[in-house]
Structure 1
């Protein structure tokens, strides 16, 4: 009987669909594990695997539009509501390079194995990242090592007879893919390789698997190897994308060296090295909702049929942190995290910066996952030169402008059309840098790379914010509110609320990081116009007079000042907070996307509306958004594999229970009535303290462990009071709710 939250999940049958395969990853390599004892498939992915395409020889550059910008600004400011529709260089819409899987590692039992229906179980341990399948005395364990950057699969059983191969045949693989296989015997057993060259390109993907056999005999069985009578088989796999010929010999030598470095049982040694890093990160934060122990013991697929179960929410919280950690390393998570089983990945499996990536990484600072923040910072660092190109080409300025989409290779802004003029959007860099600023506040230091990026964004605004309205206030022109349009105008407009909030925040934050420029940048921020409240009493999506709101939309870009920023809140700006709340009430769900619902929930939590948080969360829990893998979909009924819901859900629960700024702590701002008791442990605050929270229907207790000495404001349902914190001295806070 379970006595606490379950830090894993299980199923009583193999995965029939790749969407239901259990996931493991180290932020570089990823795997989707089916767990079939007679035809075991493990799909291999890697963050760098994006398919080249037309336009790679220069067509993926930002459009050279800076010379046309003054004319566009004149037309928009004079009232031409469609002026931005021809602000392009005429090229057709072009998506970023699509993310794709590498191949599947197949392990077949030619004798059919044990086909008895009973006794099968596959499990995923969140604390170790091990996906295990067991049937009788046969077991297969798979994980992706954070320590050694290798995919490890260990098969055991009496007298194992197995056919092992690397198979490129996955859904929608291009017909022109040029594939070559290699298989040689080695002292350990065998070395298998697969090289797939993209159609019309000299780029290729090469995978190498070292097969180490314990007992038995190994023979070549092209394109793979056959193992007979073994007691164990250890498979070590790596994949990489490259030009020219891959050095398979060098890669195999590296895998052999890795094997030689292990002591005792190689699998156990490899797992111990990996788990030391992975377990430490995963176990930093836990959520306990006092769930029914019998429900905690259920397989994930059955638990998903009980959408209001506390055990389900506990497991989804744990799975969300696990998947977020596992997909973050070289890069942060893509739209599909680190995983896909299909070459035709929706929306190219991109890093989408106008909501999706930002939502997925929302919990990184509070949920104690600096690994996620570091992965996001790595993406920013690698692409900052391209962001400079965007600023120069489109706007004729210094500084940096982030694109709305990226494939991980390019940070250039070239994805635009009449309905999606994403090259007009200037707020992206501020949103991408916000988690890095939060991380700095949490740890009490300023990262020099974050400081440098903020300075670049401030330079852009210094050059770009030169036009004014009739009253002398600055105007953001052109301006775009992803991915919406005014009801009475085209998509490109003036003074989108998000752009105003982002410009103010970027300039003021850069001023804090760079005091030598603080006065000039704060003065520029102060010249931006305030937000507008429309005739419905709602915060308007465009502050420019005469632009009418379009309420039924999945994005909530105009409420960027509420979340993730702290610009609009019930404590300092109650009138604007009330207008933002009215805007939230009027917002429709449009196409019922998961990211829209959870974005709504995050904003509602900041506005202390627990009922609205619960309703938005319920739309996702009731909507059949989660696969048996506990990875999510973009739309209800598990339509379109997508990580938004899986990775964002932990942030929603944390924000409902605890919120912090450098000077404020809010306890139980938006509690969920359906879960009256529980505990949230290990949370990091932006004022430099860890926090453990427990609550019951009568009240709550919080234990703060500060690392800095200063005064903050403590907010509860009873109001505010000052709280003095001393570094190294724990504080116990008691809150009565009755």
Structure 2
């Protein structure tokens, strides 16, 4: 490869790159009818879905800690080391089905229903006799939902923000109608199997209170009904502030009479965050009670912009934004390429992460924080077999690194609880992280079948997030205080878990499954457990390697380091290429029960791992493409998150056209009108996976010491620009391109270091001091 950029003007100074911008706004000409048409707001912890219904408005309310149960409620499964030994004996004897059954019987709590839940609803019943010129919108640049219409020729508007600095939902209503607003405002919450779950009362003539406790009367544990009658308690306060007309209360409603402008301020506090949550709610309301709309809006927009404005993307769309968002989706279904929608969905992923994951909150769950249910699909919990990981794929690369904090705080707790599972269930050191957990950080396996939930690879996969965060930030303190302890504890478990593979004496995971998939064994049975499934082997190699690298960087010499280094040399490779050129999903070329399965777990080493690259492992790199082609030919990528993963795979294949093809399919097949990703049902991971995939098409830095610029730029993105993307090594990248070719690039070093930059067959070595910039103009 050439050691220079052709015709490049190189400057070690600061240059302002010209970046054209277009407003990132979702907008519609009609109110939401279904929940998936509503527009989400959130401050990381507290959120709402705004429906925008004139006269009959609904805000569905959410808070991230509203779960039934508690930390100490449920214990581990009953399995012990002797049960594990019997499972392994079954596998050695070719009795996979018996191994599956015993694995579930002894080590799984089977079907579990204990769900994140809705807070309730805020209802508005106003007397508007007719409406015209309707429009509702979500401005991603200001995190504001605006509903506007005319009634009898007069303007009516509603603005909603979820303020992080004031930790409150703020709603402003305005009208020029001479009669003003007239009607009632109430709060309520769904019943739990016929039982009331909250009570709403008027505290004074301008304030409502809704208080309750989360229960799960149709709960499940061990596939058996279980009433859960305890849970997080909450207190929600709604305060009305107006300048004209009258606001009074009934027993449980605010009554609005002739008010032309008023503001609602909603705070909610739970027993999860505050022991004295009831008094804390009063304190939070007092902080915002006298603030004006202008003051609240300014602090909200300033704080939000400090996150959102860290990076910007322009894909070259020059047309005015005169097409509603839902119509844009329909146009893509008809074959239109919509660059504005592609950019809008990218920005939406960043918006959703900012709105559902902030330092000090819980991590974004399967639905972020937005959930209308008492019993949500999959409990709106934390699936650690791709979904939770995908939620945080865009955090570092799109310049939102600090939003990882809730993930690490949460997983630290799961790892701590997983030490009990490792010790009591398996008689091993370290920590066993389960494939699914919930607010209470439980560490038992779950699901009534082995292929759904009997998987032990979650710890290693989530360990990569600790390592990648260090690579992006070069934060040595984080490496020593957070990442290294996690990697060491996870590695200690896998070190004890490994056994010899009978055919060659290498070390393998046993029992080992490939998430949510099955194969056909020699007896013709559909089974899940084997010895050394590809993903387990790849993940264990990955976490071992990262643990050893971290040990070297920190100068840690331990007996475990020496043991892991020896085991790594004898670990059975997780990338085994079959005769047809595909990567095996299991230890042998078994018949596949579902050739088009949505999970592509055996490609972990390619993405999000980094063991397969074009330059270092060309045979495996080619095998990745064949593996994906086969999966797709058999109906793969049926879910939104699976399609998002394919965008990332395609980018890593350096194939912009393939990546863009899957972007088109995601836009046309997997989006609700409000741009939420559809599994279906709604599952937020696909939104985050898409945003990460677009970033991966523009910059890649997973290869050691190498940054690729525009590695998978599709023809459709002929002209464009990006500022503020991050690369591993703590580099910040700004670029412009024209006619499909790089025109300007600025790389700023956050730390002193060396890196090679690669673009279109040419490469250049950089050696930059902290704060120094490298810039080129082609």
The aligned residue for residue 87 of structure 1 is 103
- Distance in 1, Cα, partners of 2:193 & 2:172: 31
TM-score scaled by length of structure 2: 0.86
- Distance in 2, Cα, partners of 1:497 & 1:664: 27
Deviation at 1:690, TM superposition (A): 0.2
Tell me if structure 2 keeps the 8 A contact 1:366–1:684: yes
Tell me if structure 2 keeps the 8 A contact 1:384–1:411: no
Deviation at 1:131, TM superposition (A): 1.0
Q: Which protein, 1 or 2, shows the higher relative CO under an 8 Å CA cutoff with sep ≥ 6?
A: 2
The aligned residue for residue 499 of structure 1 is 536
Deviation at 1:573, TM superposition (A): 1.3
Which residue, 540, 548, 555 being the options, matches 2:599? 555
The aligned residue for residue 208 of structure 1 is 237
Number of residue pairs matched by the alignment: 713
The aligned residue for residue 271 of structure 1 is 297
Describe the superposition over 1:159-215 as per-residue Cα deviations: whole angstroms up to 9, x where unpaired. 33231110224xx853123442211215xx223334356356143443221222333
Tell me if structure 1 keeps the 8 A contact 2:643–2:666: yes
Which residue, 142, 146, 151 being the options, matches 2:164? 146
The aligned residue for residue 383 of structure 2 is 352
SS in 1 for 2:397: coil
Deviation at 1:593, TM superposition (A): 0.8
Distance 1:422 1:164, change over 3 A: same
- Distance in 2, Cα, partners of 1:632 & 1:421: 22
Distance 1:719 1:68, change over 3 A: farther
- Distance in 2, Cα, partners of 1:196 & 1:39: 27
Deviates more, 1:357-366 or 1:391-400: 391-400
SS in 1 for 2:159: strand
The aligned residue for residue 125 of structure 2 is 108
Tell me if structure 2 keeps the 8 A contact 1:127–1:282: yes
Distance 1:152 1:371, change over 3 A: farther
The aligned residue for residue 291 of structure 1 is 317
Tell me if structure 1 keeps the 8 A contact 2:637–2:643: no
Distance 1:656 1:259, change over 3 A: closer
Deviates more, 1:413-422 or 1:531-540: 413-422
SS in 1 for 2:331: coil
| Unmatched tracts of structure 1, length 5 or more | none
Tell me if structure 1 keeps the 8 A contact 2:136–2:148: yes
The aligned residue for residue 41 of structure 2 is 24
The aligned residue for residue 472 of structure 1 is 505
Distance 1:445 1:394, change over 3 A: same
Distance 1:412 1:96, change over 3 A: farther
Tell me if structure 2 keeps the 8 A contact 1:19–1:341: no
| Unmatched tracts of structure 2, length 5 or more | 1-18, 218-226
Q: How does 1:362-511 map to 2 (within 5 A)?
A: 362-420=393-451, 422-423=453-454, 425-446=455-476, 447=478, 448-488=481-521, 490-511=527-548
Which residue, 319, 328, 335 being the options, matches 1:303? 328
SS in 1 for 2:393: coil
Deviation at 1:61, TM superposition (A): 2.6
Deviation at 1:645, TM superposition (A): 2.3
Deviation at 1:511, TM superposition (A): 1.9
Deviation at 1:483, TM superposition (A): 1.6
Distance 1:28 1:273, change over 3 A: same
The aligned residue for residue 720 of structure 2 is 678
Cα RMSD of the aligned pairs, angstroms, is 2.6
The aligned residue for residue 705 of structure 2 is 663
Deviation at 1:62, TM superposition (A): 3.5
Describe the superposition over 1:383-423 as per-residue Cα deviations: whole angstroms up to 9, x where unpaired. 22222223224432111122111222233223132353523
- Distance in 2, Cα, partners of 1:455 & 1:57: 26
Which residue, 326, 349, 352 being the options, matches 1:320? 349
Deviates more, 1:714-723 or 1:228-237: 714-723
TM-score scaled by length of structure 1: 0.91
Which residue, 130, 137, 158 being the options, matches 2:144? 130
